[in-house]
Amino acid sequence: MKIGLHASHEQFPPSRLLALASLGADAGFDFLLSSDHFHPWSLQQGQSGLSWAWLGAAMSATGLGAGVVCAPGQRWHPAIVAQAAATLAQMFPGKFWIALGSGQLLNEGITGDAWPPKAIRRQRLMECVEIIRALWAGRTVTHRGLVRVEEATLFTLPPSLPMMYAAALSADTARWAASWADGLITVSGPDMLSVINAFREGGGGEKPIILKVQLSYAPDMDQALEGAVDQWRAPTLDGSVQTMLRRPEQFDAAVRDIPPSAVARCVRVSNSIQQHVDWLGEDEKLGVDSVVLHNVNPWQEQFVEVFGRQVLPRFIKR
């Protein structure tokens, strides 16, 4: 099981994330995963660097492979996503991959376009998948549907195409995505097993699965819990709510009364290294190919150093 390090652009400035990526490479992490936000989840987080600008710098500085989760169709035109991914895959052959989802109003709403219901967002995503793959195949693409493309051709193509994962938080989405995605990325939490099983049963079979593990590690248990509550209450909201709020202030209001116990059900909170090792061992038994560790609290450098010494060596890299 490979273990990656998450770069959370909504929480930390890109310069610090670049330094953390270098620390992660030295500590033994296998790859990087970048978020892609225009707005942070909350005012408390307070950052939102551009993922595509950061990725090339991080891959060059560390030598690690990397992936990004993004939503084509509104904020990102699919032809631009295809071009950006092809460029990174050309510079770093075999090391870049992409995960596509249908997006959230928090980030996509900046265009001023109407925010469609889930069924339409899913249809739009499918159109984007087909457009991106056609461009990667070297075809000239004209498409007039929920998104429009006029005579687009990519002239810089990589020696091998990036893997295209589906980003899914629900079993329904995972089952739907199994037919077109090269693999699945989902998050740890109460629903992860049903999501993974739905992907496999829907046609995912032996396709690779990446699990983004949301954890909070700090030397003190109180610090670990406080850091998780401070930084990661918003993503504990139900997915149907997450996708429909426009501003960080709205997320702050929606999570104001969420108790720490609810955060702890969605985030693996512990100051015990052995507890985190045990949790990851359970993930490995599920047959996931890779996990991405996202320490949601502010203690990033300490987390990378401690996990590099005491956690990563416990797992076979294959």
How many Cα atoms within 13 Å fall on the side-chain side of residue 16?
Answer: 14
The predicted pLDDT at position 240 comes to: 85
- Which helix or strand (DSSP H or E) is residue 59 part of? helix 51-62
Mean pLDDT across the stretch 81-99? 99
Return mean pLDDT, the chain. Answer: 97
Q: What is the pLDDT of residues 131-189, one digit of tens each?
A: 999 999 999 999 999 999 999 999 999 999 999 999 999 999 999 999 999 999 999 99
Domain residue spans in the chain?
2-314
The predicted pLDDT at position 238 comes to: 86
pTM of the model: 0.96
- Would the pLDDT of 302 be above 60? yes
Mean pLDDT across the stretch 22-27? 98
Through-space distance between the first and last CA atoms of the chain, rounded to whole angstroms: 6
The predicted pLDDT at position 316 comes to: 66
Q: Which residues pair with 99 in a beta bridge?
A: 69, 165
The predicted pLDDT at position 37 comes to: 98
Per-residue pLDDT band at 76 (split at 50, 70, 90): very high
Long-range contacts of 154-158 (CB under 8 A, 24+ apart): 154/82, 154/83, 154/86, 156/83, 156/86, 156/87, 156/90, 157/86, 157/90, 158/86, 158/89, 158/90, 158/93
- Would the pLDDT of 83 be above 70? yes
The predicted pLDDT at position 304 comes to: 99
The predicted pLDDT at position 239 comes to: 83
Name residues whose C-beta falls within 8 Å of residue 286's C-beta, 6 or more positions apart in sequence.
Answer: 193, 196, 211
- State the angle between helix axes of 51-62 and 14-27 in degrees (0 to 180), rounded to the nearest 10: 30
Query: Which CATH code for domain 2-314?
Result: 3.20.20.30
Per-residue pLDDT band at 317 (split at 50, 70, 90): low
Which of 184-193, 235-244, 289-298 is the least confident region? Answer: 235-244
Per-residue pLDDT band at 318 (split at 50, 70, 90): very low
